[in-house]
């Protein structure tokens, strides 16, 4: 069973400057809920309550968000706002959340390496802190179920249009079932011609402890950083790796357009906003030029 999760959240978020100059991109709100809270909730809904967040300089707001705020709580008590009080308390009681700081931004592989003492000899889940996946069954739970079958590293993937494979890490290999692939190739942002499939890595993993030995042997790659994909290529020489096509919709909060789309779609799912916001969108669309 997978008992621990690691959430890398140390990146600078330069694509959202200047808003991320003093605010972590993982704290950008989807209406009224920070992005990273959705990620933590996915881990919890998957049966994991021991979570390590890999943060970095300027990320203190993430730690504060999941901590108690007694002054705010007392203010809500005095205002007799029981609903908000319960929500604020729920956030601080969500799980056992630990923090460690990545001292230098040396890539995702390096960030994962900081988790080695916390996860020890156990398999663990990795959920990227700027990626939300909306699904009936939590995606991390989907990957855990596959891990229980194969007991090897599992990578969550999604199908992308063939003309967009050069934007993602792509996997290829032997088809085991409709959703499961035994991986033989891991290629970072291949051209359409060299891409082995249209299955893109979706920001969710179940990793075995062997990944740490692979990271130790991984040379700096793109952007002079230690890339997790490169480490998994090394791991592939030592043990099998499988991919699982996720069931759910992925929202990449790492770019502005997808962030805007995410807010719109999540607003339409909220009962208090759905009708008036839908009306607003229709009226707005009708004012646009053909």
Where residue 107 sits, what CATH number does that domain have?
3.90.550.10
186 and 282 in a single domain? The answer is no
| Stronger pLDDT, 102 or 13, i.e. the higher one | 102
- Mean residue pLDDT across the chain: 92
Q: Kindly indicate the confidence band of residue 22, based on its pLDDT and cuts at 50, 70 and 90.
A: confident
161 and 57 in a single domain? The answer is yes
Neighbouring C-beta atoms of residue 254, cutoff 10 Å: 19
Neighbouring C-beta atoms of residue 91, cutoff 10 Å: 17
Query: Which residues constitute the domain of residue 266?
Result: 260-290
180 and 289 in a single domain? The answer is no
106 and 138 in a single domain? The answer is yes
183 and 272 in a single domain? The answer is no
Q: What is the pLDDT of residue 179?
A: 94
Q: What is the pLDDT of residue 134?
A: 95
Rounded average pLDDT over 166-190: 91
pTM for the whole thing?
A: 0.93
85 and 184 in a single domain? The answer is yes
163 and 250 in a single domain? The answer is yes
136 and 264 in a single domain? The answer is no
- The number of domains in the chain is 2
73 and 128 in a single domain? The answer is yes
193 and 290 in a single domain? The answer is no
Q: Kindly indicate the confidence band of residue 15, based on its pLDDT and cuts at 50, 70 and 90.
A: confident
pLDDT in tens, 209-229: 999 999 999 988 777 889 999
197 and 272 in a single domain? The answer is no
- Four-point Cα dihedral 132, 96, 10, 19, nearest 10: 60
Percent with pLDDT over 70 in the chain = 100
153 and 272 in a single domain? The answer is no
């Amino acid at each position: 069973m997978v008992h621990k999760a690691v959430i890398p959240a140390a990146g600078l978020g330069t694509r959202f400057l200047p808003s991320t100059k003093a605010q972590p991109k993982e704290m950008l709100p989807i209406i009224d809920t920070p992005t990273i809270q959705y990620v933590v909730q996915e881990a919890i809904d998957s049966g994991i309550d021991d979570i390590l967040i890999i943060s970095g300089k300027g990320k203190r707001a993430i730690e504060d968000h999941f901590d108690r705020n007694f002054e705010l709580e007392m203010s809500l008590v005095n205002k007799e706002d029981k609903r908000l009080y319960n929500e604020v308390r729920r956030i601080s009681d969500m799980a056992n959340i630990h923090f460690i700081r990545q001292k230098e931004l040396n890539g995702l592989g390096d960030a994962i390496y900081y988790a080695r003492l916390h996860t020890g000899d156990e398999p663990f889940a990795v959920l990227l802190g700027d990626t939300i996946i909306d699904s009936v069954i939590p995606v991390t739970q989907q990957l855990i179920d596959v891990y229980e079958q194969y007991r090897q590293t599992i990578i969550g993937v999604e199908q992308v249009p063939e003309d967009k494979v050069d934007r993602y890490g792509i996997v290829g290999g032997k088809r085991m079932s409709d959703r499961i692939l035994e991986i033989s190739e891991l290629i970072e942002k291949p051209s359409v011609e060299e891409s082995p499939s249209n299955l893109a890595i979706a920001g969710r993993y179940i990793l075995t402890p062997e990944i740490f030995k692979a990271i130790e042997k991984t040379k700096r790659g793109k952007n002079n950083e230690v890339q997790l994909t490169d480490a998994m290529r090394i791991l592939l020489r030592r043990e099998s790796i499988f991919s699982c096509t996720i069931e759910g919709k992925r929202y990449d909060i790492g770019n502005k357009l997808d962030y805007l789309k995410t807010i719109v779609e999540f607003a339409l799912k909220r009962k208090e906003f759905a009708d008036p916001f839908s009306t607003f969108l229709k009226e707005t669309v009708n004012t646009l030029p053909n």
